[in-house]
Amino acid sequence: MESLFAMLLVLLDIVAIVDAMKGALSAEKKILWIVLIIIVPVVGMFLYFLLGRMEQQST
């Protein structure tokens, strides 16, 4: 069960990183989000999907 959770977390992190790279944000913000997702995987991914995507939509 733990390995399933870990695989799901890695998959969602990869989705968040790819989404950040394809987004309309500036290069600096993309790098900042990607570093945040990698360093703090659960919190970074959660914050990206809540705040980062909203920031892209308003740009």
- 29-46 confidence digits (pLDDT tens): 999 999 999 999 889 999
Number of domain units in the chain: 1
Q: Is the pLDDT of residue 56 over 80?
A: no
Tokens of 32: 């900042």
In the structure encoding, which two tokens stand for residue 57, read together? 């939509």
Q: How confident is the model at residue 20 (pLDDT cuts 50, 70, 90)?
A: very high
Per-residue confidence (pLDDT) for residue 43, from 0 to 100: 93
Query: What six digits make up the tokens of 25?
Result: 């944000």
Supply 22's token pair. 């394809």
Range of the domain at 32: 2-58
